[in-house]
Amino acid sequence: MTFEEIKQILIAKFGAELILGEETTGLQPALLIQPEKIVEVCRELRDNPATHFDFLNLISAVDYGENKFGVVYHLTSMPYRLQLTLKIVKEHTRDLEDLPSFPSLTSVYKTADWHEREAYDLVGVFFEGHPDLRRILLPDDWEGYPLRKDYKAAEYYKGIKID
């Protein structure tokens, strides 16, 4: 199955407006899709016998700067030995009290649980519907999100100098 065939399966199921763009020049092709459709798209890619993307390798949150945040999903079909990257992006303020929000994939892939927690912890992306969204790498009282472009590292944490 080719990238184009996978794209056509999604268009047939969800309509052409689902796909906002595509990247085919990198090492792994990617589809940029509507953020609010990510759960349904992943469920279709997992359950469709023609694609059977049964493994979620990785979720990465991205701070693109200029009030733009995204999430990148790396999927694998083990039986067909295929890989696919899906990307969702949205404009959002940089206010730490109002985090950018995307749907959680924990209902589709159990591995999304810790991947989404890491994305929340390091970039400050909130995942709607996540069963236990809390920090996973940093202490619960850590301030800010270290992988954001505007992050300023604290000089001290609990009286200990941070280098």
Structure tokens of 137? 């790498």
Structure tokens of 63? 């701070």
Q: Say how many C-beta atoms besides its own lie within 10 A of residue 85's C-beta.
A: 20
Confidence band for 28, pLDDT divided at 50, 70 and 90 = confident
Q: Say how many C-beta atoms besides its own lie within 10 A of residue 118's C-beta.
A: 19
Question: For residue 19, what are the β-bridge partners?
Answer: 33
For the domain with range 3-146, which CATH number is right: 2.40.30.10, 3.40.50.300, 3.30.420.40, 3.30.460.80? Answer: 3.30.460.80
Note the pLDDT tens digit of each residue in 69-126.
Answer: 999 999 999 999 999 999 999 999 999 899 999 999 999 999 999 999 999 999 999 9
Task: Please report which helix (H) or strand (E) contains residue 57, including its range.
Answer: strand 55-65
Say what the pLDDT of residue 151 is: 92
DSSP symbols for 89-113: EEE----TTS--EEE--TTT-TTHH
- State residue 64 phi and psi, 5-degree precision: -80, -5
Alpha-carbon distance 142 to 37, whole Å?
Answer: 32
* For range 125-134, the mean pLDDT: 97
DSSP H stretches of helix in the chain: 3-14, 38-47, 112-123
Confidence band for 18, pLDDT divided at 50, 70 and 90 = very high
Say what the pLDDT of residue 163 is: 74
Say what the pLDDT of residue 153 is: 86
| Residue written as token pair 């792994």 | 28
Note the pLDDT tens digit of each residue in 135-163.
Answer: 999 999 999 999 999 999 888 898 899 87
Say what the pLDDT of residue 83 is: 94
